[in-house]
Amino acid sequence: MSAGSPNETQARLSPREMEVARLVAEGLTNREIAAKLFLSERTVDGHLEHIREKLAVNTRAQVTAWVVRHDAAPAPAAPTTVPPAPRQRWVFAHPRAWMAAAVVLGLLAGTVGVLRLTAPPEPVIRTFAGDCPPESDPDACRAAGDLGPATKAVLSRPTSVAVDSTGIAYIADYANGRIRKVDQGGMITTLVGGGDKELADGVPGFDVSSQSLGLASTVAVDRQGAVYVLTSRNEHLEVWKDSNQLMKKVVDVGPSHELIYIFGPRPPVGGLAITAEDVIYIADRAGNRVWRFDGNQKTAYAGTGVDGALLGDQGNAIEAELSNPIGLALDSQENLYIADTGNDRIRKVDRVKKTITTVAGGPGGSLVLPYGVALAHDGTVLIADTGNYRIQELSTRGAVATVAGTGQWGFQGDGMPATQAEFDVPEGIALSAEGNLYIADTNNMRVRVISHLLGQ
């Protein structure tokens, strides 16, 4: 089987695959390529496997021949010339166009185009924080870059992101055991974690950066800007709060049996959502429940504790089975949305009736292992459709559309329309007051942002 011509196939290789293909052509072994690109050898093997498949070749010599032909071929068109699929959102280009629209409607025919409808440019994605090469071994991405630009900092498997009302972002830098903070100017610091001392409950002056956070996969902020961290320490799920550099334990959720992960990645321990009244909802992934903590008492809010698919839709939320719930979000009515990850669904618990329903996913649905969920002010639901490597939007009318991601895993697309981006296991997501969507692109070792995705 021969390889396609360079121009036919060029678009099918990701930038990283092109890089690997060129190094193969230079005669480097997989080990040498791995060392050069700071990747593990197996990652290089994986890239090469994909390259062979995409180019329909079997040998390194054929890859080399393809690279030689490709690099000798005329330069392909710039990515910007690729016509993006515009999102179907139409706006009036002129500030007073609504008045013109009224005129048009009034006059119906005979009046010449005073109204002009324009498709806005599609939202663009970029890296917000993190500079460790995508798909690196997590151990190779040791925390670095504090007090510098977040885009140059090193994160390792970021799993969750939260944004306060002023635009400060907080990132659960999971494999580094830290919560990182990115200010409005883009400078990153470590808020807490990274040390080896036991978390100290309410001890003033105790250096928060010297503390060990445990398995702190999830971060949230309340309306006052206080930061909450969900962590599993000694197989106990706990919520801690940082207030002016003072760590306080908010609630011990209970046993959270975490298996020892032999040579494999740890999933997030759960999710957090906080109401205006500081009621905390906690997704206990390993326990297959969602808990509610009102400041005094912790009660089961959804899930039976059994990892299962007896959904119990329309019934009481505490009688429904959940499977590995992770992401949580609240709408303006404080109805709770749960990423019921193992059931491939987003569930909603009615605040008043305490009943549960499926709002996205399920049979015939399009979600695969959704890890994250976020709510816009207008009720639009954004979903990290993790297993499909994309971000989905569920409109208030119930329509589901892809807002980011091609559906293929990998890393590409920065500076391009978000629908052309590739993610590698996008987990947590957060929406800022300005409508910017932050995405913890976990295996790409970074947080990415789509500015003004929703015009909030």
Stretch that binds another protein, among 121-129, 291-299, 353-361, 418-426 (CB under 8 A): 418-426
Q: Within positions 269 to 298, which residues make up the interface with another protein, using CB under 8 A?
A: none
List, in order, residues 6 or more apart from 420 with CB less than 8 Å away.
Answer: 79, 82, 84, 406, 412, 413
- For residue 376, the one-letter residue type is A
Rounded-to-integer distance, Cα 270 and Cα 340, Å = 11
Q: What is the CA radius of gyration of the chain?
A: 24
Residue of 367, 425, 430, 447 that binds another protein (CB under 8 A) = 425
Residue of 390, 409, 430, 447 that binds another protein (CB under 8 A) = 409
Pick 43 or 436: Cβ nearer another protein: 43
Size, binding site for another protein by CB under 8 A: 39
Rounded-to-integer distance, Cα 13 and Cα 53, Å = 10
Pick 45 or 350: Cβ nearer another protein: 45
By DSSP bridging, strand 236-242 and strand 227-233 are: antiparallel
Q: Is residue 43 near another protein by the rule CB under 8 A?
A: yes
SS (H, E, C) 305-338: CCECCCCCCCCEHHHCCECCEEEEEECCCCCEEE
Q: Within positions 378 to 397, which residues make up the interface with another protein, using CB under 8 A?
A: 386-387, 389
List, in order, residues 6 or more apart from 250 with CB less than 8 Å away.
Answer: 228, 238, 239, 240, 241, 280, 293
Closest CB 16 distance from another protein, rounded Å: 10
423 beta partners: 409
Q: Is residue 123 near another protein by the rule CB under 8 A?
A: no
Rounded-to-integer distance, Cα 372 and Cα 217, Å = 12
Rounded-to-integer distance, Cα 95 and Cα 427, Å = 38
Cα atoms in the 13 Å half-sphere on the side-chain side of 267: 22
Q: Is residue 227 near another protein by the rule CB under 8 A?
A: no
Determine the length of the chain: 456
- For residue 89, the one-letter residue type is R
Pick 182 or 338: Cβ nearer another protein: 338
Q: Is residue 260 near another protein by the rule CB under 8 A?
A: yes
Q: Is residue 321 near another protein by the rule CB under 8 A?
A: no
Closest CB 84 distance from another protein, rounded Å: 24
Pick 220 or 369: Cβ nearer another protein: 369
Q: Is residue 359 near another protein by the rule CB under 8 A?
A: no
Q: Is residue 263 near another protein by the rule CB under 8 A?
A: yes
Q: How far is CA 103 from CA 92, 106, 107, 108, 119, in A?
A: 14, 5, 6, 8, 21
Stretch that binds another protein, among 71-79, 213-221, 264-272, 291-299 (CB under 8 A): 264-272
Q: Is residue 137 near another protein by the rule CB under 8 A?
A: yes
Q: Is residue 265 near another protein by the rule CB under 8 A?
A: yes
Where are any strands of DSSP class E within 157-269? Answer: 158-163, 169-173, 178-182, 188-193, 215-221, 227-233, 236-242, 247-255
Q: Is residue 45 near another protein by the rule CB under 8 A?
A: yes
Residue of 83, 110, 205, 264 that binds another protein (CB under 8 A) = 264
Rounded-to-integer distance, Cα 285 and Cα 50, Å = 33
Closest CB 273 distance from another protein, rounded Å: 21
Residue of 5, 11, 42, 166 that binds another protein (CB under 8 A) = 42
Q: Is the separation of the CB atoms in 188 and 196 below 8 Å?
A: no
Q: Is residue 1 near another protein by the rule CB under 8 A?
A: no
Pick 1 or 260: Cβ nearer another protein: 260
User: Which residues contact another protein (rule: CB under 8 A)?
Assistant: 30-32, 34-35, 40-49, 135, 137, 139-140, 259-265, 267, 324, 341-342, 369, 386-387, 389, 409, 423-425, 443
